[in-house]
Every structure is written in structure tokens, then in C-alpha cells.
Amino acid sequence: MAAQSNTGHGGRRCHVLLFPLPYQGHINPMFQLAGLLHARGFAITVFHTHYNAPDPVRHPHYRFVPVPDGMSGPAPVAILDVVAHIIAMGRACEAAFRDRLAAVLEEYSRDAVACLVADTHLLPVFEVARTLSVPTLALRTGSAASCACFLAYPMLFEKGYLPVQGIGAPRSFDRCIVESQRDMPVPELPPYRVRDLVDVGEDHLGLERELIARAVAAMKLSSGVILNTFDALERRELERLRRDLAMPVFDIGPLHKFSPAGESSSLLRQDRTCLDWLDAWPLESVLYVSFGSLACVSARDLAETAWGIAASGVPFLWAVRPGLVHGSSADDPDHRHLPNGFEAATRGRGMVVAWAPQEEVLRHRAVGGFWTHGGWNSTAESVCEGVPMLCCPCFGDQMGNARYVGHVWRVGFEVGGELERGSVEAAIRRLMADTDGAEMRARAGELKKAAAECTRKGGSSCLAIDKLVAHMITM
């Protein structure tokens, strides 16, 4: 898309500054937003950490400003290490970001700097911007529902919904009581049940509460929140958010439909040979399997999933990224850890890649189902292509996303409980071959149409983008 010229006050060039959180599920929407704003004529400057730094060569139209993050050592793998890493990285960047931002503002002083858009998980970035009088907008990369859940976090503790009981509890703990508590509805946040709330267990509550409280503080320091969702998908949740936040909420998703991320913001090399492989399969016959960029699975769960896929007889494309299995390293050459005999059992009807061009895979006519961890980007990408989902949520907002998939949009279902090859096989057959699955696919097709409507000229997301651009220019 050619960039229109956008000028701020007095006809000066108008800059937008961006600061993504350096994880794949957060980098993608930020770069999609960058593409969209650049197409609207803004000059883009991206501040970034050294950790997972973007490659400027892939984005020749943007300016990049590295911010030393002082972080060393291996990349975090366990989700709690990731949470700790996010908090530590934000703090470690603060002083260097202050210097870099001040220098950039001085350099751009003849132009107009509209605002800084940062990921909600980078609170110190918002604080620094405020001290330098730079207005901010917060990019929240999850759904509107999960954002509302963040805002409701203090209430969830006050009323005793959280912490979810029983995670990490001793064996003597009564499992029936635990399960019935986890199934309790949360009437303040329908359709969530206790088990769908963001929770990583009692042992680590401090860290998790801090992460969420900081994200909420970042939103409250901003003059608006940008969400990668759209009106037809989350109308009620967006209304609630607008009421609770009392600031503009821009529902400009699905961002990848305005500005695909593709290879340019991918941290791993996408294996595009799978697109040719998909060409050979009939319409909606292939199951795509991926657990996103952060979730890890045990070797046992990977094996049960593999044998369930094998027994289903369904053709599949599986993205098994390096480091996916607990305890394995992202540099391990034999990263796949698939069980012996699996390849022989599925020869001719399966392909395994380390990392797929997911947006294109989901758009491919041969793909008829998605076995997903339910990260928000994956969920939104699947919804927009009318692909029904089998959700196997792992942490954070993924349980809540699975709840919406199964009970609100009814475009898939959660594979609950301990993974067993028999239940995996049954779930795949239900999605790919039963009338039940066909109904989910039909509803997914309706959502695909609704997403397309939103992104059309005059559609809700297009209008929200116009409002965002107008808001930025007047900030």
C-alpha cells in the first residue's frame, strides 16, 4: 500500500513512535499497526530492546532506535520466567529509553511527534514518555474480553474467585471440590468461569498480579487503548471496556488483514514449502497444528497428541518449533521430539515444519481445522479465515479465548483434561469429519464474512482507524 502523506500541526511531517514488547505474539500486532499507520502517511520510528531485536533491513521505511535492555543469559522458557523477564526488561530499559527518547524528540523538533504507542506490558516506557510530555496510546495485544478481565483483577481477588484453588496443591487436596470451584461461573464477567481467568497458580501470584497491575497502570497513563479486535466479534466486551476505561478504545482489528505481518516480523524463518504441500490436498481436508511462540508442552503430551493425530487418519501440517518441548533447547537440532515410529505411521499425509507462514496457511483452501493453544493472534487469524478450532490452552489469556471459541462464537471447542491419544483422535474426528464440526465450520464462515465487513470501506474497523488517525493528529 502506498503511503499517503500525513502532516501534523502546521503542515509538518508527523511521526509516530512505537515500542513493541519483544515477543512474537506482541511484535506481530505492533508491526501490523506500524504498516497501517505508515500507509496513512505517518513516519514510523520503532524503539526496540536488544532482546529479539527486529531486522531493520526488512523494514526499509522505518527508523529503528535500539534501547539497551541490560538483559543477558538464555531466553526465558517457562511462562513464569517470561513474566519475570517482561517486568525486568521494562525496568532495565527505563534509563536508556529516557536518553534515546529525549534525543529523538530533539532531532524531530522541526516535525510533529503525534504520540508514542507502546505495548501495555512496558509500563516504564509510558512513565518516561509522560515525564517528557509525549502523549501515549497503549496497544493491548489480547482480546477486549481479556482486557476487561485485567481491569477486573482486583475485584476477582476481593470476591474470592482468584486465586484458583488447587493448582500446585498437595495430593490430599480434594480434587472434586477443586473441580467444582473451577467450574463456577463468574457472573461479573460472563461467559467466564473461574477456570477461564488469567491465573498461573497460587505459588506465583505476586508476579502475575504485578504484571497485570502494571498493564492496567500503563493503560490508565494513556490517552487511549488500541485493540486487535473488531466490533462484530466483541461488541459487548468493547462496550464494557469503554465504560470501565473511560477513554477512547480503538477496535481496529483484525490488524493482519490491513497489514499482514508475514515474514517481515517473524523471529523464526518461516518454512514456505508447506504452502506447496498444502496445494495437493482437497478443500478443508488438512488439520493445521501449532502451539504459538511461547507455550511449551511435556514430551508425554506431545507424544499423545502425535499418536492421536496419527490414529485420526486426517492429513496434517504441524509447526513444531525449537524449544516447544519442556526442557528442550531452542538451539537443539533434533528439536522435534516426535515419538519414534510417528513419521512412518503418518507418511504421505503429514508435514512437520519448525515454523509456518501461519497467516497464509490458515488462508489456504486445504486447511479445514486448527489445533491451537489459543493465543489471541492465532485465534483472530483463524476466525478471519473461517477455520474452526480445537483449543488446547496453556496459560494467560488462552483459557478465556478458548471459552469464547467454544461457547460464544461456537466455532470450535476445548480439548480439556489430560491429553490422551484416544481423546485427541476423537476431537480431531469431531472437528474434521462430524456434522458437529461442519456446523462449527459454517459458523466460522459467518465470522469470516463479518471480519471482512469490518475491514471494508465504511466498516467498523475502518471507521475506528479513521478515528485513531484523527486522534493521533490532534494529540
Residues that bind ligand UDX (CB under 6 A): 23-26, 28, 141-142, 266, 290, 292-295, 319, 355-356, 358-359, 375-378, 381, 396-398
Among candidates 33, 32, 38, which has minimal Cα distance to 61?
Answer: 38
**How many residues does the structure list for the chain?**
475
**Residue number, 23 or 409, with CB nearest to ligand UDX:** 23
354, 364 contact by CB (below 8 A): no
Supply angle C-alpha 417, 418, 424, rounded to 5. 90
Burial label, 11 (beta-carbon count in 10 A; 0-12, 13-18, 19+): exposed
d(CA 38, CA 60): 12
192, 164 contact by CB (below 8 A): no
Task: Compute the least distance from the CB of residue 53 to ligand UDX, in Å.
Answer: 17
d(CA 14, CA 113): 6
Task: Compute the least distance from the CB of residue 28 to ligand UDX, in Å.
Answer: 4
Task: Compute the least distance from the CB of residue 130 to ligand UDX, in Å.
Answer: 25
Task: Compute the least distance from the CB of residue 297 to ligand UDX, in Å.
Answer: 12
Q: How far is CA 302 from the centre of its chain?
A: 22
Task: Compute the least distance from the CB of residue 142 to ligand UDX, in Å.
Answer: 4
Task: Compute the least distance from the CB of residue 439 to ligand UDX, in Å.
Answer: 25
| DSSP label of 351 | E
**Residue number, 259 or 293, with CB nearest to ligand UDX:** 293
Q: Where are the beta strands (DSSP E) in 258-349?
A: 286-290, 316-319
Among the listed residues 15, 48, 119, 231, the single catalytic one is 119
Among the listed residues 15, 26, 85, 364, the single catalytic one is 26
Task: Compute the least distance from the CB of residue 29 to ligand UDX, in Å.
Answer: 8
d(CA 219, CA 238): 15
Count of Cβ atoms closer than 10 Å to residue 131 Cβ: 10
**Residue number, 294 or 389, with CB nearest to ligand UDX:** 294
**Residue number, 136 or 377, with CB nearest to ligand UDX:** 377
**Residue number, 101 or 366, with CB nearest to ligand UDX:** 366
**Residue number, 292 or 437, with CB nearest to ligand UDX:** 292
The answer to whether residue 471 is catalytic is: no
Q: Which residue reads 504507542 in cell numbers?
A: 117
- Helix (H) / strand (E) element for 139: namely strand 136-140
Cβ neighbours of residue 240 under 8 Å, at least 6 residues apart? 144, 148
**Residue number, 137 or 469, with CB nearest to ligand UDX:** 137
d(CA 12, CA 404): 45
The answer to whether residue 256 is catalytic is: no
Q: Which residue type, as a one-letter code, is found at position 327?
A: G
Question: Which residues are identified as catalytic?
Answer: 26, 119
